[in-house]
Homo-oligomer: A and B are copies of this chain.
């Protein structure tokens, strides 16, 4: 890379990394920019989605298409798909934003009490003040209480809670701490394939090493320890794998891990000296009978002090998913377990550079973990809204699986949880041979012909020679039915066309 010699240091500054003059006289070009950033890929907002936005504009401008609207089933964005916000949450947020409303008798007392409590924890009683970098103290206490309740009384320490700008922010921050070494000692990060591309993108950006382990599609996207072992062994040949990332319930795969599986993973991490990252943002999104959400924290502590005093674990949650779907607020938290105190001090220092997560997102996170209790005036409405949303999601999960499995050439695992199906599609030989990226080609054609916007499986990773797409289950039931039937039709046509 630094092959040319520095005759004059002055000259070097006018040259790009490989010694060429900067193109067009620009200081910053793709040749002279951060090489890691170039490697970053994020399909959930990639070319298909960009084309979808274009098509929407064309439709608005009156361009004739074989459809009337674009249905964006590419991203877990509940409100954009018509889901209504939880009334209580928005009431409290409005009260926090404009405290003059505290005198308004249109707002229930429990909403006012929540708002008053949050405001009292804010500098100058305003959510316009910076909060402490780790997050508002009372919110961190409420998060700890929530975790303790959720996990059957296993204690949670507010000092271990860090509020974040969505879960993504927390995940990137922890990966950043963990990235070290050079060459064969460079940190390897084990991620599932298929994965949520935030992981691959952050690993690329940080220059860490992506270590793939494959989920077992035949066994409903379950996680096999033997595959973890294979993947780890292979990685140790060329890097230092130190982190194991788990998404449960799964994104994009929709599986819910059994308690046994989680125990096995923890045992594996302990044996192999791996740092565990548990992405649990879909913890309320469990639909399939017999499935239940088990937090890594809870299982870890139930395994006894041999594990609970040793295994390093960070778990992530968010305001963006579950029944609330408040993505725009960028709220989230992480709980760090068994983190070296000196590293924790470094973490606290690191987050302080960005000052604080958005205060409205923190307040909203508080409401999620401290929702209306039985007996409070807002309890019934809250429960009604929450239940309605989760039941509809469960129904749509089932519907998606059922209809997709009626299509020859599409095989869909049960959507046990989360918000996505990730079916395997059989593509005709000619399409595979002609297209550079057959699943991308398939999804682009689908978009152009039907207005349905999905993400090709390649954006998440898939076993070579297999093809998938990710589709959210979020469109309203009637629209989802139309979408699924259009998809069925398209798939049959596509198969004929390229056979």
Contact = CB atoms under 8 A, between A and B. Distances in A.
B123 A79 contact: yes
Given A42-B352, A97-B93, A356-B328, A80 B123 contact: yes
A285 to B, nearest CB: 16
A185 B2 contact: yes
A143 interface: no
Interface string A261-293: 000000000001111000000000000000000
Given A165-B358, A237-B9, A242-B27, A40 B94 contact: no
Contacts of A342: 29-30
State the oligomeric state as a number of copies.
2
Given A26-B312, A29-B340, A329-B358, A80 B12 contact: no
A231 interface: no
A408 interface: no
Interface string A93-130: 11001100100101000000000000000111011111
A5 to B, nearest CB: 10
Contacts of A133: 45
Contact of A353 (B129, B201, B242, B354): B201
Given A128-B85, A129-B79, A178-B33, A22 B328 contact: no
Contact of A349 (B40, B53, B236): B40
Nearest to A347: B37
Nearest to A168: B354
A159 interface: no
A166 B343 contact: no
Given A93-B98, A353-B198, A128 B185 contact: no
A179 interface: yes
Interface string A137-178: 000000000000000000000000000011011001000111
